[in-house]
Structure 1
Amino acid sequence: MRVTIIETGLVSPKNRELHGSYPQMFERMIGAADATVTFDTVSLPEGEALPDTDRLEAILVTGSAAGVYDDVEWIAPLEQFVRTAHAAGVPMVGVCFGHQLIAQALGGVVRKSEKGWGLGRHVYEVAPGNGVIDGTQIAIACSHQDQVITPPDGAMTILSSDFTPYAGLLYSSGRTLSVQPHPEFSVGFALACCEMARSKGDAPDRVVTSAQASLAEPLESARLGGAITQFLTRSA
């Protein structure tokens, strides 16, 4: 199985040296669950062109500092790419920005949340019998201000919290999945995201301090990463 990673954001040079790029983080996450998976990366911020969906086996759309409503030249083509892949039934997963982009492309509403920054370790309720993720709760790192406010018609909410009601969506085809939190993040990079939010000046110190403290508790990244890997590869 070959997963095509659509890179929508660039990690800073300092953090890339310490933690890797977003595609590298996902390669580690998926590789830990299935060492047979291989990868291609298409970097939209670097000006690379989107591939034809009819030759792809599986797709993963990464996170980004951009907002899905921003005036960025590659966002509209990426939305059309998502709609085409979804209609064709290509297994596809989006994370954070990818979650929001897929939701918006398929008819949902995304905006900056009045709740402010979601940072650190968040605990999400898992919808029973969703067919993707087992258990009743899962703890994953997050880093976002934007949220899906209204899911697309036919999307099932499979992860939720008071802070992020639509944190995980399984779309009507059953072949498209998106999640708001970051199972690909190490604790070290999640801590770095807290500091980046503080340095931007729009995350209050109390939010950052609480988020940093929360990351001392265990994350269940491998559990969600394994579920995503199985979702992408189960038709192989």
Structure 2
Amino acid sequence: MLIGILQTGQAPDALRDEMGDYPDFFRELLANRGLQFRSYHVEGMQFPVSVHDCDGWLITGSRHGAYEDHPFIKPLEDFIRKSIAEKVPMVGICFGHQIIAQAMGGKVERYGEGWAVGPTDYDFDGQTIKLNAWHRDQVTEVPEGATVCASNEFCENAALVYGDRAFTVQAHPEFKDEFVDGLLRTRAPGLVPPDVMAAAAAKLGHDNDAAAVADRIADFFKQNRNK
């Protein structure tokens, strides 16, 4: 099954040579699960010709806000709506989670309580799953047709499922602790409050449940659908 990775942001220059970029992270996260990948740098306006160019789509994270005025935002929203209408499965992670919700009529906002950073527990339908987080925007209004399937006290709408059309997660299962540590060193200073940075750093170095979410993503892509 061929999955198109729609890249909407990039890893910091200081980390990219050593750790790779966002598409690399997803290829590693979803390895050995019967999926193949093709990348499109949609942030740079490289879009697929058709929603049927791949068997499914995965939208990455980004430093941009879904509500900001960037050239790629509106075309991406159009692509999301067309993909969902034509039953081509789609997964969104962090920014991807947000832009899919916005495209489908939900609302994304800068969250007044601030940042979620580093290892964070989420309730996925009664199962506690620990994933790395890196966000201060959130989906604050769930679009019609979407169901909340994960949450915590800080992030009420932490994962959404749109029937068999889309599955989206606010956290970053593709971010290893080493990359979060790199973000704390390169991207966080002056942006993330020092106490939030310190608390996140103190929680790094333990196992998380990224593999379980990778299984959910792969299973979602491969489920049978009536075209």
TM bucket, shorter chain: over 0.9
- Give 1:13's aligned residue: 13
- Give 1:43's aligned residue: 41
- Of 121, 124, 134 in structure 1, the residue corresponding to residue 122 of structure 2 is 124
- Give 1:165's aligned residue: 156
Cα deviations across residues 155-185 of structure 1 (Å, max 9, x unaligned)? Answer: 11111001111000001x3221100001111
Q: 1:17 to 1:197 in 2, by over 3 A?
A: closer
- Give 1:69's aligned residue: 67
- Find the aligned partners of 2:20 and 2:154 in 1 and give their Cα distance: 28
Gaps of at least 5 residues in structure 2 are none
Query: Per-residue deviation at 1:18?
Result: 1.9
1:120–1:194 CA contact under 8 A, matched in 2: no
- Find the aligned partners of 2:158 and 2:88 in 1 and give their Cα distance: 22
Residue 52 of structure 2: SS of its match in structure 1? helix
Gaps of at least 5 residues in structure 1 are 129-135
Query: Per-residue deviation at 1:52?
Result: 0.5
CA RMSD of aligned residues (A): 1.4
- Find the aligned partners of 2:224 and 2:2 in 1 and give their Cα distance: 12
Cα deviations across residues 166-218 of structure 1 (Å, max 9, x unaligned)? Answer: 000001x322110000111111011222334432x131111100011112332
1:129-208 equivalent positions in 2, closer than 5 A: 136-171=127-162, 173-199=163-189, 201-208=190-197
- Give 1:215's aligned residue: 204
Query: Per-residue deviation at 1:89?
Result: 1.1
**Count of residues in Structure 1 that have an aligned counterpart in Structure 2:** 225
Instruction: Give the partner amino acid of 1:86.
Output: I
Ranges of 4+ aligned residues in structure 1 off by more than 6 Å: none
